Amino acid sequence: MDDTTGYPQGPGKGRMSNNHMSIHLLYIEDDAEIGTWVNEDLKGRGYEVTWLQNGERAVDHAGGCRLVILDVMLPGLDGFTVGQRLKKAYPDLPILMLSARTSIDDKLEGLQFADDYLTKPFHPDELAARIEVLLRRSGSYSSEPLVLKHLLVYERENRIMNKDTGEEIVLTGKQFQIFMYLLRHLGQILTKEQIYEGVWGDPYLDGDKTLMVHIRYLREKLERDPASPEIIETVRGVGYRVKA
CB of 229 to another protein, least distance (A): 17
Among 6-14, 47-55, 58-66, 131-139, the segment contacting another protein (CB under 8 A): 6-14
Three-state SS for 162?
A: strand
Peptide bond into 121 cis (omega under 30): yes
Sequence-ordered list of residues with C-beta below 8 angstroms from that of 7, at least 6 positions apart, any chain = none
Contact 66, 25 (CB under 8 A): yes
Site for another protein contains 42 (CB under 8 A): no
Site for another protein contains 163 (CB under 8 A): no
Site for another protein contains 34 (CB under 8 A): yes
Site for another protein contains 115 (CB under 8 A): no
Site for another protein contains 212 (CB under 8 A): no
Question: Following CA atoms 109, 112, 115, 117 in sequence, which dihedral angle do they give, to the nearest 10 degrees?
Answer: 10
Contact 48, 7 (CB under 8 A): no
Site for another protein contains 6 (CB under 8 A): yes
Among 46, 124, 198, 226, the residue binding another protein under the rule CB under 8 A is 124
Burial bucket for residue 28 (CB in 10 Å: 0-12, 13-18, 19+): buried
Among 60, 92, 202, 206, the residue binding another protein under the rule CB under 8 A is 206
What are the residues binding another protein (CB under 8 A)? 1-10, 12, 31, 33-34, 37-38, 41, 72-73, 99-106, 108, 119-124, 187-191, 193-194, 206-207, 235-239
